[in-house]
Structure 1
């Protein structure tokens, strides 16, 4: 049954001959990124609690656990990133100027990353109290155990964002995904070039090679990004295919694939098959938001879209806030979980909004100005 529902307010369809071209930017995908960041936060919040807590045990065994699926949410980030970055270039709708692409990626990723390091160091030095962490889980207690006087060299390496190998957990454990993102940003133009030239069978073969060669190495999750690139290349064909199915069937398939680890109680969430089942579930979610539907309208709503814009900073900042509020409310552990959850979410959201407005946006503008000013030197176009 085809999906015939109202088009999203944010998107107008452009007809070219017999094919339908969709807009290059989808607000609903910003919202999806925001919900994924929220899922990571909820997963890390649950991670602060001891496993013997009856409430936490009940949550982990309930469908609510799927909303706290931090590992799957990060994998969704990677697929979505490959899709969004490749979309303007994959079908040669515009040339891919290499230097400009890199300048824009650095101006997008690095400023908020550097700000999050500085804020985390300030919190660790002046607001965090390791002695108050005893009621919490071993995972959260293992963070911020360092003394800045003896760890300064390692902390300094963190600012290199993977140029020099550094301890990924010393400042903020989510930084591992930023290192992966930066590596993939360097290689993505060449993957786009390869995906353009290969036909569908060869693209699928290359995807399988990337999956089984690099799938379990957290530093080289290239298969997930390539999955996003192929999603961009074949989106029209895939959209035509999924329109044959009722929306509820698609949602059900996507949820099962995306939540494989929780639904089947699989211990290893880093196995190749599990990783890419999650990637396929994420791909279905993305495709469903590309087509006109009530779901796309909902995801394009202003509150969700706004939170989606803040989601990058939210993702980077939620761990420092979580650690601080854990120490502040640790004396009354029975009630403190509610306070920690509420205060961490509110505090992180507020500072994320500030970070987006006064750090992310100005540096994005600066990146565009640099690209415009020095475009005469950008001779390599893919």
Structure 2
């Protein structure tokens, strides 16, 4: 079989900086949910606090995750110099062991949390998509689909896991095409056109552009010079584009395209010049990045339980009429509880089973 044109380089310690980026992104999602998912009394939100809290763009953080996935997944297949079912099969095994064990745990936790809070938190107090999730019946069929990663209403953040699963299946073939210079532009154009289609939220195909651009980070040559203002500018735009352009009434997929492009340049600069960004070597950010998968999947259920507990003390009306104090309380308590649980799931579920998946994948690649 014909070899591909480009093989990504061996990974280096830039992965530390990328891990920190994952940590920052998952914190943005957690804070964004604390700010966005409850119907606070708007007239009680000071203008300065409203502007500040609007900068925690959870939607953009998910786009960062997708671009990062494209970048990291290309390295998982970096030694596949030609199409090989052995390598592709090993890739699938490793992804399954990476994604499913914690996903199954999160489904179980979500069902317990739904049972706990759905009778106490009124649907009028939360945004529409969360109200739909809270009112979703629990039955064997839906639970089975949730365990497969297809049905996501029991835990809202699972929608992005469904996207990850979709592109985990097609990714090896996407990578093969992107490594071929004569086909690369065609695939990029197709992915861009798909991104322009207003698919329903969370369906998935519109995010092909993010995975493609993330892959190209490892394929394109390194920039000759680092311009820090580009990195800072991309980060600022990811934070505030939806706030700044809210009056222009762009469709959701237009914002997704903007944020995908900003994410590409941000991750590309960190990939090549991350060693110069000392703050990304922070032990705290690296540790949060290591726990980011657990934090991302588990935080919303715990936030709902904590809100339900706080209701018993201050009442639902009291919480919603004091948005600043409620949001700060939810962020701090949710982060603490999620951090504790994530340390457990990371050591008991993620590390051992991910290691097992890597061992099986390594055996598959070396056999034959």
Gap regions ≥5 residues in structure 1: 1-19
Closer/same/farther in 2, CA of residues 61 and 30 from structure 1, 3 Å limit: same
TM-score normalised to structure 1 length: 0.80
Distance 1:31 1:39 in 2: 13
Q: 1:188-228 CA deviation, whole Å, 9 max, x = no partner?
A: 111111111125xx523421221112443332121110111
Q: How does 1:174-193 map to 2 (within 5 A)?
A: 174-193=157-176
Partner of 2:215: 229
SS of the residue corresponding to residue 49 of structure 1 reads coil
46-55 vs 309-318, which deviates more?
Answer: 46-55
Aligned with 1:115 (options 105, 108, 112): 105
What is the number of residues matched between the two proteins? Answer: 342
How far is 1:319 from its partner?
A: 1.0
Gap regions ≥5 residues in structure 2: 1-8
How far is 1:360 from its partner?
A: 0.4
Distance 2:33 2:364 in 1: 42
Distance 2:340 2:238 in 1: 33
Distance 1:46 1:316 in 2: 17
Closer/same/farther in 2, CA of residues 302 and 214 from structure 1, 3 Å limit: same
SS of the residue corresponding to residue 21 of structure 2 reads helix
Higher helix share: 2
Aligned with 2:287 (options 296, 302, 306): 306
Aligned with 1:275 (options 246, 251, 256): 256
Partner of 1:47: 36
Distance 2:353 2:72 in 1: 19
How far is 1:259 from its partner?
A: 3.5
Q: 1:128 aligned to 2:117? A: yes
Partner of 2:190: 209
Distance 1:293 1:160 in 2: 36
Distance 2:127 2:53 in 1: 23
SS of the residue corresponding to residue 130 of structure 1 reads coil
8 Å CA contact 1:329, 1:336 repeated in 2: no
Aligned with 2:357 (options 356, 367, 376): 367
Closer/same/farther in 2, CA of residues 22 and 298 from structure 1, 3 Å limit: same
134-143 vs 364-373, which deviates more?
Answer: 134-143
Closer/same/farther in 2, CA of residues 233 and 117 from structure 1, 3 Å limit: same
Partner of 1:74: 62
Distance 2:10 2:103 in 1: 35
8 Å CA contact 2:17, 2:280 repeated in 1: yes
